[in-house]
Amino acid sequence: MARPVVAIVGRPNVGKSTIFNRIIGDKLAIVEDKPGVTRDRLYGIGEWLTSEFSIIDTGGIEIEGDDQIMRSVRAQAELAIEEADVIVFMVDAKAGVTPADSEVAELLYRAKKPVVVAVNKVDNLQRSDDIYEFYSLGFGAVIGISGSHGTGIGDLLEEVVKHFPETTEEEYGEDVIRVALIGRPNVGKSSLVNAILGEERVIVSDVEGTTRDAIDTPFEKDGQKYVIIDTAGMRKRGKVYETTEKYSVMRAMKAIERADVVLVVIDGEVGIIEQDKHIAGYAHEAGKAAVFVVNKWDIVEKDDKTMHQFTQKIRDHFLFMTYAPVVYVSAKTKQKLHKLLPVVNSAAEQHALRVQTHVLNDVVSDAVAITPPPTDKGKRLKINYATQVAVKPPTFVIFVNDPELMHFSYQRYLENKIRAAFGFEGTPLRFFTRKKSVDE
C-alpha cells in the first residue's frame, strides 16, 4: 500500500532542506558502507505517531535552463501539486510575505489540495507574533517552527497527518505478483508493458490504482496472476518535466512501494547513466525484489562478447545490487521476452523465501568454522545463533556477544555464504546484529 506523499515547497533559503532532514531523522534509507549506493536526499520516509509517509524535498530539485528564481519556485510548486497528497508551504518569519510567496500561494490555492503553512525561523518568543501575517496567504493552517532549534515540528506534523487520505486495502490477493517498471524517460517502459501484455494476455482490465494517475493492469500467464503497476507514459507536458530528471524518481518511488518485483529498465543502446543508479537505488533501499531489464537489445551492434561485457558494466555500476539477475529483451521485436516472466516469478519466490532456523544456523556455523571472525583490539566476535525474522525482503537477526565487533566485511561474508546455500537471487537481504541477552 502506497504511503501518503508530503511535499515541502517554498522559495529558496527558507529552510526547506533543514526541515526535511529534521522530519526524516535517521529514517532516510541509505545503505551505509556499500559502494555504489547513490545518496540522493530528494525523497525520504517520515513518521508521526502511527502514520508513515513519503516526503519530497523540492529544494533538491534542480531546474535546468533559465535561472530565474520565480521560474524555479513555480516549477517546484508544480511538481509538488502533481505528486503530493499534502503540501507543506514553507515561508520565512524574518522576511515576511514576499512576492514569491504570493505566487506559490496562488498555484497551491488553485490546486485545491491540503496546504499547511510552516513559518520557519520562529526562533524565539518575539518572533511568534510574526506568523499571523502569513494568514493573508489564504490557507487555514499556519504553524510556527524553527529548523535550527527543532521546535514546532511536532505541531506541524500533527496538522499534516490530519489531511492524509483514507487508506484502502488493495484488492489483490497473496498469489498476485505486483510488478513495477521503473527507469528514466525514453528507455522503453511503455513499449515493454505493451509487449508483455501483447497477444498473450489472458485477463486484461484497466482499474484505477491507489496512486493518482497510475494504471494497474492485471493479467494472467501460465496460471500465474500479475499486476503491472505502470508508471510509463505519464510524463507531463512542458519543459519543466522534460528537463527535471528527478521527477521520474518521484513517479518511480510510488510504484516501488506497491511492488513485489521491480523491473529496472535500462536502454541497451544508450547504456547506463547516473540517473539509472538513482532510480535502482530506491528499489534496493525499499527492500524489493529486482530484475535488470536491458531493452532495445535488437538495435545494439554485438558479437559473442557484447552481452557479457554489458552485464559486467551493470555489475560495476550497481555494486549494491549484485543479486539482481539481468535479462536482455527487445520490446519492439519481442526478442527474448519469453524469458522475462519466469525470472520475475523466481525473484518473487526468493523474495518471500523463509529458511528454517536450524538449517540457517548450520550454514552460519560452517561459515564461522571455515573463516572465524577477526579480532578487534584483542576482542573476538562470537556468533551465538541466527534467525530469520521476516520476508519481503528476507530479514535476519544475528545474536552475538558484542554487536560492535561485527565488521561490515564479515557480515558480507556471512551474507555470501547464506546466498550460496539458499539462493535468494533477485532479492536484497537485510541483516541486524543484536546482543544476546543473559536469559536467552
pLDDT, tens digit, for every residue of 184-221? 777 888 788 888 887 443 333 333 332 334 467 888 88
What confidence tens digit (pLDDT) does each residue in 163-175 have? Answer: 998 765 556 778 8
Q: Is 345 annotated as a binding residue?
A: no
Under 8 Å between Cβ of 180 and 263: yes
Q: Is 187 annotated as a binding residue?
A: yes
Q: Side chain identity at 59, as an amino acid letter?
A: G
**What would you report as the CA-atom Rg of the chain, rounded to the nearest whole angstrom?**
24
Strand order of the β-sheet with 224-230 is: 207-208, 215-221, 224-230, 176-182, 261-267, 289-295, 326-328
Model pLDDT, residue 207: 38
Which of left, alpha, beta for 378 (phi over 0: left; psi -120 to 50: alpha)? left
Q: Side chain identity at 141, as an amino acid letter?
A: A
Q: Is 112 annotated as a binding residue?
A: no
* Residue located via cell numbers 517520515: 46
Q: Is 333 annotated as a binding residue?
A: no
- In this structure, the strands spanning 383-390 and 379-380 are unpaired
Q: Is 128 annotated as a binding residue?
A: no
Which of left, alpha, beta for 65 (phi over 0: left; psi -120 to 50: alpha)? left
400-413: buried (b, 16+ CB within 10 Å) or exposed (e) per residue?
beeeebbeeebbeb
Q: Is 11 annotated as a binding residue?
A: yes
Domains in the chain, start-ordered, CATH in brackets? 5-161 (3.40.50.300), 176-350 (3.40.50.300), 357-435 (3.30.300.20)
Q: Is 25 annotated as a binding residue?
A: no
Q: Is 334 annotated as a binding residue?
A: no
Q: Is 122 annotated as a binding residue?
A: yes
Supply the mean pLDDT for the chain: 81
**What is the average pLDDT across 100-107?**
85
Report residue 425 as a C-alpha cell. Answer: 537471487
What does pTM read for this prediction?
A: 0.70
**Lowest mean pLDDT across 58-62, 84-88, 115-119, 259-263:** 58-62
Closest CA to 254 of 31, 1, 17: 1
pLDDT: which is higher, 329 or 199: 329
Model pLDDT, residue 235: 41
Please give the C-alpha separations between residue 36 and each of 31, 33, 440, in angstroms, as whole numbers: 10, 9, 38
How far is residue 234's CA from residue 248's CA, in Å, rounded to a whole number? 9
Model pLDDT, residue 49: 85
What confidence tens digit (pLDDT) does each residue in 27-65 have? Answer: 343 333 333 333 344 677 788 888 888 888 776 444 444
Under 8 Å between Cβ of 269 and 296: yes
pLDDT: which is higher, 85 or 77: 85
**What is the average pLDDT across 376-396?**
93
